[in-house]
């Protein structure tokens, strides 16, 4: 049934964060000692963003797909591995049901209800949901192996303890939330394992805890060398709310989760600001009413669990398991990077399925008419869930379909509109431009009233880029750049984005200063690349140069060196122009594009010189030519000065410069 329900997932693209995790992470593209070292010593979002996440086994699984199986950028292989992991977890849920219900049909029903629930598509169909799949495997397998170890003796006990430790390690090194295995096992013992003496349980607890302790130690070492991260208000508005406001809003989110488990009609890949309004303490509006209702539901669930502790052990366990599994992502104890996400329910939803099956089981035992009706009812519900899962998978087909459905389900989330705008912008022949404009305007309308320190630089940079493209369309028809309305709008958006970036830069610096870490400038380089290109169109080269140079300081990517080169050419400074290209070549010697541009420069400006040579092949730069050599050494000195002023180690610059014959004295 699960295979049928997910049969249309194999054609889904690498949507959402999957594109970033698979296509932009160079560590997974080849199995080398250096890449494996980076996987075990760097952040999960390596080279793409800072998220303070450490998930080496998840990244290694992507490397297995990309480099070992040869899937590369083809999504189908990743989807097959995800579904395989889901099928393994279905089997584990069935075994857990057998353990608790001690009967096959309730265990089968629980596994079916859970396996086919459409909320799970964000973990199964979305490739980066693999972290949730592996974490759930670790918790379920660890719990089941532990229960076997308690009843075993001798070498069998050692084998089960080893298996439990291995499962715990797989879970915790795949995603942080697998730490709930340390709560799931005591909850099971509290409900069903009281007959076993505590002495027989302690080895199992130790086996599960040791991998977690090892992970926490490794994680702290990895994150200690990385900049501290300030949680985004746009992703989780609770970070800027008062303590009780944040916690009561988090309770409302739990209520939303429960409703989605009961009625998964409207699903979304995102619930960013302002889809979940904060609790306002007014008690006279619908949102505050939802909060109070959710609070009552949570308190009632806790009361039912306490009553069921003596009368219905499975109910106690399933309710406690639901809240324990949800705790790491519930924003009740610690505030995380996201206010709400359907993937967080992959493991907790087992508790919901278990309670539903228990109710049907009790009905079938109490009323003779329900002996066949109850299983039939569960079968019908399972089929309905499977149909909804199949339909939901079609939303994940590509970026456009995913964000169109998300914007419809979550119309107040800024990110759903922004992502839909970007997806429409990517359509060929400009077919989605009008929709993209409406969605981008809607995004800025949501974020506009926010203060700068709570806003998002990335969104304003994307909007400025889009409005500049609209201006380019008018410019192609001969429209004067100075009176181009879209250029003016783009400049207004870019400048607001720069103010936001400056405010966020100060917040990041204060956080890292507090944590005793270096405080370089933190910023969003694409903003300055877009702003500089807009100034070029407005024929303001000095302002363009300022934007490009600041962006280059944030991230020395080749686009900045190319644009600085073009701007110096506009300012009639040819030597500074070619030295800008050479700075990029020294920064990253693998940038053959910059070397080609430099060679074209010399072909244009000094065609009869010794600047290039041909030695039985294509033209190449002649580094021994005095003209090229002097420019290269001058660029090296400029780069050295930039490194020194920003406090960065410049030994690599000196080493590369002296290797091509530049004097070491110039760096003293």
Number of domains, the chain: 3
Q: How far apart are CA 42 and CA 198, in angstroms?
A: 39
pLDDT at 650: 75
Q: How confident is the model over 181-193, as a mean pLDDT?
A: 95
Distances from the Cα of 174 to the Cα of 53, 136, 191, 634, angstroms: 10, 10, 28, 47
Q: Which of 394, 425, 459 is a domain's end point?
A: 394
Of 121, 160, 24, 33, the closest CA to residue 396 belongs to 121
Domain membership flag for residue 564:
no
Domain membership flag for residue 16:
yes
pLDDT grade, residue 74 (50/70/90)? Answer: very high
Q: How far apart are CA 610 and CA 628, in angstroms?
A: 8
Same domain, 269 and 336: yes
pLDDT at 22: 93
Examine the pLDDT at 53 and tell me if it is beyond 80.
yes
Domain membership flag for residue 426:
no
Domain membership flag for residue 142:
yes
Which range of 46-60, 359-373, 444-458 scores highest in mean pLDDT? It is: 444-458
Contact predicate 354/378, CB 8 Å: no
Same domain, 219 and 243: no
Q: How confident is the model over 424-447, as a mean pLDDT?
A: 93
Examine the pLDDT at 27 and tell me if it is beyond 80.
yes
pLDDT digits (tens, 9 = 90+) for 556-598: 889 999 999 999 999 999 999 999 999 998 888 877 888 888 8
Q: For the residues of 136-205, what is the DSSP string, one character each?
A: HHHHHHHHHHHHHHHH--HHHHHHHHHHHHHHHHHHHTT-GGGGGHHHHHHHHHHHH-TTS-HHHHHHHH
Same domain, 159 and 15: yes
**Is cis: bond before 643, omega within 30 of 0?**
no
CB atoms within 10 A of CB 649: 9
Q: How far apart are CA 164 and CA 143, in angstroms?
A: 7
Quote the domain boundaries for residue 335. 237-394
Same domain, 105 and 12: yes
pLDDT grade, residue 193 (50/70/90)? Answer: confident
Same domain, 155 and 241: no
pLDDT at 661: 79
Examine the pLDDT at 542 and tell me if it is beyond 80.
yes
Q: Please state, for a pLDDT cut of 70, what percent of the chain lies above it.
A: 99
**pTM of this structure:** 0.93
Q: Which of 379, 394, 409 is a domain's end point?
A: 394
Q: How far apart are CA 134 and CA 153, in angstroms?
A: 29
Examine the pLDDT at 667 and tell me if it is beyond 80.
no
Average model confidence (pLDDT) across the chain = 93
Q: Which of 365, 394, 423 is a domain's end point?
A: 394
Q: How confident is the model over 295-307, as a mean pLDDT?
A: 97
State in Å, rounded, how far the first CA of the chain is from the last one: 71
pLDDT at 296: 96
E-strand stretches of 580-660: 612-613, 620-621
Same domain, 112 and 254: no
Coil, helix or strand at residue 134: helix
pLDDT at 233: 96
Same domain, 175 and 100: yes
Which one-letter DSSP state was computed for residue 312?
-
The encoded tokens of residue 295 equal 């609070």
Apex 542 CA angle, 541 and 545, nearest 5: 85
Q: How far apart are CA 86 and CA 261, in angstroms?
A: 18
Coil, helix or strand at residue 613: strand
pLDDT at 616: 64
Examine the pLDDT at 50 and tell me if it is beyond 70.
no
Same domain, 262 and 199: no
Higher pLDDT, 31 or 519: 31
Domain membership flag for residue 479:
no
Domain membership flag for residue 378:
yes
Examine the pLDDT at 649 and tell me if it is beyond 80.
no
465-476 burial code (b ≥16 CB/10 A, e <16): bbbbebbbebbe
Examine the pLDDT at 220 and tell me if it is beyond 70.
yes
Contact predicate 249/278, CB 8 Å: yes
Domain membership flag for residue 645:
yes
The encoded tokens of residue 641 equal 């000065």
Contact predicate 194/151, CB 8 Å: no
pLDDT at 479: 83
Examine the pLDDT at 430 and tell me if it is beyond 90.
no
Q: How far is CA 490 from the centre of its chain?
A: 28
Domain membership flag for residue 355:
yes
Same domain, 282 and 137: no
* Residues 6 or more apart in contact with residue 477 via CB below 8 angstroms: none
Same domain, 169 and 22: yes
pLDDT digits (tens, 9 = 90+) for 124-158: 999 999 999 999 999 999 999 999 999 899 999 99
Same domain, 189 and 43: yes
Q: Please state, for a pLDDT cut of 90, what percent of the chain lies above it.
A: 76
pLDDT grade, residue 608 (50/70/90)? Answer: confident
The encoded tokens of residue 345 equal 């329910």
Same domain, 77 and 214: yes
Q: How confident is the model over 497-503, as a mean pLDDT?
A: 98
């Amino acid at each position: 049934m699960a295979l049928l329900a997910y049969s249309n997932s194999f054609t889904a693209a690498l949507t959402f964060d999957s594109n970033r995790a698979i296509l932009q992470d160079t560590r997974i593209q080849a199995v080398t000692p250096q890449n494996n070292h980076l996987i075990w010593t760097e952040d999960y979002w390596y080279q793409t963003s800072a998220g303070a996440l450490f998930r080496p086994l998840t990244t290694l699984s992507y490397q297995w797909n990309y480099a070992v199986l040869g899937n590369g950028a083809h999504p189908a292989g990743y989807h097959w591995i995800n579904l395989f992991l889901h099928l393994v977890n279905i089997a584990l849920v069935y075994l857990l049901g057998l353990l608790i219900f001690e009967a096959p049909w309730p265990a089968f029903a629980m596994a079916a209800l859970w396996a086919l629930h459409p909320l799970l598509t964000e973990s199964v169909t979305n490739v980066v949901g693999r972290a949730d799949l592996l974490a759930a495997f670790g918790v379920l397998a660890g719990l089941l192996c532990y229960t076997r170890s308690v009843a075993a003796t001798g070498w069998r006990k050692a084998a089960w303890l080893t298996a439990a430790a291995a499962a715990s390690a797989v879970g915790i090194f795949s995603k942080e939330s697998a730490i709930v295995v340390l709560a799931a096992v005591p909850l099971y013992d509290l409900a069903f394992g009281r007959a076993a003496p505590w002495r027989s349980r302690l080895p199992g607890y130790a086996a599960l805890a040791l991998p977690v302790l090892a992970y926490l130690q490794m994680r702290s070492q990895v994150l200690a060398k990385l900049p501290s991260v300030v949680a985004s208000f746009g992703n989780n508005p609770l970070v800027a709310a008062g303590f009780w406001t944040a916690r009561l809003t988090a309770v409302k989110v739990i209520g939303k989760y429960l409703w989605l488990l009961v009625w998964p009609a409207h699903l979304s890949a995102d619930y960013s600001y302002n889809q979940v309004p904060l609790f306002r303490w007014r008690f006279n509006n619908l949102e505050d009413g939802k909060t109070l209702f959710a609070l009552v539901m949570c308190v009632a669930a806790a009361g039912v669990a306490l009553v069921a502790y003596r009368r219905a052990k499975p109910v106690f366990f399933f309710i406690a398991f639901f809240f324990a599994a949800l705790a790491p992502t519930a924003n009740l104890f610690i505030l995380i990077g996201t206010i709400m996400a359907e993937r967080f329910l992959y493991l907790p939803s087992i508790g919901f399925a278990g309670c539903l099956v228990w109710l049907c089981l009790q009905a079938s035992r109490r009323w003779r008419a329900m002996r066949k009706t109850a299983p039939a009812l569960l079968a019908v519900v399972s089929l309905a869930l499977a149909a909804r899962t199949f339909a939901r998978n079609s939303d994940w087909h590509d970026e456009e379909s995913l964000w169109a459905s998300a914007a419809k389900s979550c119309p107040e989330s800024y990110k759903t509109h922004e992502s839909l705008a970007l997806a429409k912008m990517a359509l060929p022949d400009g077919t989605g431009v009008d929709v993209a404009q409406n969605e981008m305007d809607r995004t800025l309308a949501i974020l506009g009233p926010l203060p700068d320190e709570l806003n998002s630089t990335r969104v304003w940079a994307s909007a400025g880029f889009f409005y500049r493209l609209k201006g380019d369309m008018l410019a192609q028809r001969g429209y004067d750049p100075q009176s181009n309305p879209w250029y003016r709008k783009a400049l207004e958006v870019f400048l607001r984005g720069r103010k936001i970036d400056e405010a966020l830069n100060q917040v990041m610096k204060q956080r890292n200063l507090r944590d005793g870490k270096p405080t370089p400038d933190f910023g969003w380089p694409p903003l300055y690349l877009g702003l500089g290109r807009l100034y070029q169109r407005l024929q303001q080269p000095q302002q363009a140069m300022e934007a490009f140079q600041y962006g280059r300081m944030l991230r020395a990517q080749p686009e900045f060196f190319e644009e600085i080169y073009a701007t110096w050419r506009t300012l009639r400074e040819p030597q500074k122009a070619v030295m800008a290209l050479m700075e990029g070549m020294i920064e990253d010697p693998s940038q053959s594009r910059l070397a080609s541009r430099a060679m074209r420069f010399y072909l244009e400006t000094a065609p009869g010189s010794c600047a290039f040579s041909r030695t039985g092949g294509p033209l190449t730069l002649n580094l021994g030519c005095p003209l090229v050599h002097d420019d290269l050494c001058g660029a090296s000195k400029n780069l050295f000065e930039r490194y020194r002023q920003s406090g960065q180690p410049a030994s690599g610059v000196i080493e590369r410069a002296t290797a091509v014959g530049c004097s070491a004295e110039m760096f003293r």
